[in-house]
Structure 1
Amino acid sequence: MTESLRGPGADEPGVEWVHQPVEVDLGDGTWAPGRISGWWRDGAGDRWCRLRIVRGGRPADWRRYDPSRVLVLPDSGL
C-alpha cells in the first residue's frame, strides 16, 4: 500500500477524528473494506489517514493518503 508512520498522538493539534468507511486496494487486484478514523497533515503538507483494513485483523495505523488506493465512501445512504 503506502508508507506508514507511527503518526500523531491523540492530543496532537490538527488531527481531525472521523469515522469514515472506505474501500482499500490491496495491490493484488482485490479491494477490502476499511475505516479511516483520523486525518492529519504533516509539516510538509502531506495528508495522512489513520486507516484500518477490516480483513486481516491488524490495528489501525497512519498512512500517507493515496486517493488512487483508498476510495472514500459515503457515511450513510442517500
Structure 2
Amino acid sequence: MKSQCGPEDGAGPAGAEPVDRDVRWVYQPVEVDLGDGDWALGRITGWWQDTAGQPWCRLRIGRSGHAGDWQRFDPARVLLLPLSGL
C-alpha cells in the first residue's frame, strides 16, 4: 500500500525535501483513496509549497508500515477530516 497525496511519487521537485523553515507542521487526519476502490485513514503531518506554488503534504497512511513521505497534494484523492466531532 503506497501512500499518495497526488499523482507523483517522491520527495518533491527534483527529489528535494523542504527545509524546516518552509514547513508548516500539523496533525491533520485524512482519508486516502488507495486507487483500487479502497480508502484508508491516515494523517498529514506537514505542508509546504514548492517554487511553482504547488502544495505538498507529508502523508502517512495508518497501519501501512510505511513512513510518511512528501507528496503533491491532490484533494480528489486525500480528504481532509475534521479535527473534532463538533
The alignment partner of 1:21 has SS state of: strand
TM-score (norm 1): 0.89
Percent identical among aligned pairs is 63
Structure number with the higher strand fraction is 1
Which runs of 4 or more aligned residues in structure 1 lie more than 3 Å from their structure 2 counterparts after TM superposition?
none
State the partner residue of 2:57.
Answer: 49
State the partner residue of 2:8.
Answer: 3
Structure 2, unaligned runs of 5 or more: 12-16
RMSD (CA atoms):
1.2
The alignment partner of 1:66 has SS state of: coil
1:14 pairs with 2:19: no
The alignment partner of 1:18 has SS state of: strand
State the partner residue of 2:14.
Answer: none
**Whole-Å Cα distance in 2 between the matches of residues 54 and 3 of structure 1?**
20
The alignment partner of 2:85 has SS state of: coil
